[in-house]
Amino acid sequence: MTSPMTSPMTGPELHALVERLYPICRSITGDGVRATLEIIGEHVPLKITEVPTGTQVLDWTVPTEWNIRDAYVRDATGRRVIDFRESNLHVVGYSVPVSGTYTLEELRPRLHTLPEQPDLIPYRTSYYAETWGFCLRQETLDAMDDGPYEVLIDSTLRHGSLTIAEHVVPGQIEDEIVISCHTCHPSLANDNLAGIAVAVGLARRLERPRHTCRFLFMPGTIGAITWLALNRDRVDRIAHGLTLACAGDPGRLTYKRSRRGDAGIDRAVTHVLKDRPHDVVPFSPYGYDERQFCSPGFNLPFGSLTRTPYAGYPEYHTSGDNPEFVTPAALADTLETLWQVTRVLEGDRTLLNLSPYGEPQLGRRGLYGSLGGRSDTKQAQLAMLWVLNLSDGEHSLLDIARRADLPFMAVEEAARALQDAGLVKELA
């Protein structure tokens, strides 16, 4: 497997990836996921794992694989009133195959609409209860006569496998930063093609990181459950984790804390977000795959980064969540934020002041302006004083940046200057 790494991806490039992935009909299993991973694989090398139907994974079982070729509800004139080819949202995910004639009255319990958003198609699934159904605009339903209608769902539910993919950037240490994004949603752009695109963008930007960086592309819930089952003995390598979703809408960034509440990832993300419009919300056991990573048995340091959060925008889980809803600028902003978070996680470390009694004389080491009396102390000098004062073995550079209310990179640069001068050393 060779690396296709090139230059960092721009907002328009991220958006183009969203657009390219948009038409594919994904689900928690099936060829749509594989087609998606193939495209991702053009940008970053992937290790694909196929887990057979029936495999026991924690409390769950890998389900049968679902694939679909066509589906419609056709009226007496032969017109497709509901047409899978127009939007893959029209079919309830994991619908069993069906072929027959139905009156509207018979169909009605199987037709899902959004009466308050009559021009949008809802997104519905039924993975674990065998059924079938269609999702459609309320407008369409209102215009349907009593029928009868010819109904087809040309799907298969067969023994197959669940597909998960990983991209790993090896680091200098085994401790891992893990970015996870769900790949199971069909034609929904923000949720979660945007998350996938930003993850790809970050993977492309990393060069020789300190931490091993692992990117997980897998279906929601059952994918995370499966990965955790397969990697149960390796999860203690995860130093910092993030689920990434809804990463491209125009709203402001939202960070949901890990179950631990004050893990390194929580402290890094909230520090980076400090100077941007943002929200920080506490952990809750609902949302994306942080639900699994933060289940009490694992309790991993996983937060969740989104823009407008889970179910927080009217387009959520409807045909309104299309590539127009996602902007290049928002995708680029999420990526830049994530990049800054990575720099904090990578650069954070704990130093020890080797000259802790009084301040060391910075001037004779060329680290301090020689002209005294001025009140416009420079940020760099202030950062050095903070690093010296708090490098007592109890505070990491991120702790210091937060306490000093200085940008992490200013503190990190001060730390390097002091390290170069032999005034501080890194704790083993």
Q: Which segments are annotated as binding site? A: 185, 191, 317
Give the pairing type, strands 211-218 and 173-182. Answer: parallel
Nearer to a second copy, 203 or 384 (CB): 384
Output phi, psi for 5, to 5 deg.
-60, 135
Nearest to 14 by CA among 33, 40, 35: 40
Nearest to 156 by CA among 91, 107, 102: 91
**Which 305-344 positions form the footprint of a second copy (CB under 8 A)?**
310-311, 316-317
User: Residue count at the site for a second copy (CB under 8 A)?
Assistant: 62
Task: Candidates 29-37, 47-55, 335-343, 385-393: pick the segment binding a second copy (CB under 8 A).
Answer: 385-393
Q: CB neighbours (10 Å) of residue 119?
A: 12
Examine residue 363 and tell whether it contacts a second copy (CB under 8 A). Answer: yes
Provide the mask over 26-65, with x wherever binding to a second copy is found by CB under 8 A and - wherever it is not: --------------------------------xxx-----
Residues whose CB falls within 8 Å of the CB of residue 94, separated by 6 or more in sequence, listed in order? 27, 28, 63, 66, 125, 126, 127, 157
- Residue 210 beta carbon to a second copy: minimum distance, rounded to whole angstroms: 26
**Which 134-193 positions form the footprint of a second copy (CB under 8 A)?**
none
Residues whose CB falls within 8 Å of the CB of residue 109, separated by 6 or more in sequence, listed in order? none
d(CA 412, CA 392): 16
Task: Candidates 9-17, 152-160, 197-205, 388-396: pick the segment binding a second copy (CB under 8 A).
Answer: 388-396
3-class DSSP state for residue 384?
Answer: helix
Examine residue 251 and tell whether it contacts a second copy (CB under 8 A). Answer: no
Contact 302, 265 (CB under 8 A): yes
Provide the mask over 263-292, with x wherever binding to a second copy is found by CB under 8 A and - wherever it is not: ---------------------xxx----xx
Examine residue 262 and tell whether it contacts a second copy (CB under 8 A). Answer: no
d(CA 170, CA 168): 6
Nearer to a second copy, 133 or 248 (CB): 133
Contact 139, 118 (CB under 8 A): yes
Nearer to a second copy, 277 or 372 (CB): 372
Contact 93, 189 (CB under 8 A): no
Only one residue has tokens 């306490």, namely 403
Binding residue (CB under 8 A) for a second copy from 124, 237, 343, 349: 124
- Residue 321 beta carbon to a second copy: minimum distance, rounded to whole angstroms: 12
Binding residue (CB under 8 A) for a second copy from 125, 322, 327, 334: 125
Binding residue (CB under 8 A) for a second copy from 23, 361, 420, 425: 361
Nearer to a second copy, 95 or 340 (CB): 95
- Please confirm whether the linkage preceding 356 is cis (ω < 30° from 0): no
What DSSP line would sit under 154-197, residue for residue? EEEEES-EEEEEEEEE--SEEEEEEEEEE---SS-IIIIIIHHH
Tell me 146's DSSP state: S
Binding residue (CB under 8 A) for a second copy from 147, 391, 402, 411: 391
Residues annotated within a binding site for Zn(2+): 185, 191, 317
- 302: its two tokens: 């996983």
3-class DSSP state for residue 223?
Answer: helix
Binding residue (CB under 8 A) for a second copy from 22, 102, 298, 339: 298
- Residue 258 beta carbon to a second copy: minimum distance, rounded to whole angstroms: 12
Site residues for a second copy per CB under 8 A = 58-60, 92-93, 122-129, 131, 221, 224-225, 228-229, 232, 259, 284-286, 291-292, 294-299, 310-311, 316-317, 353, 355-361, 363-364, 370-375, 377, 382, 385-386, 388-392, 404
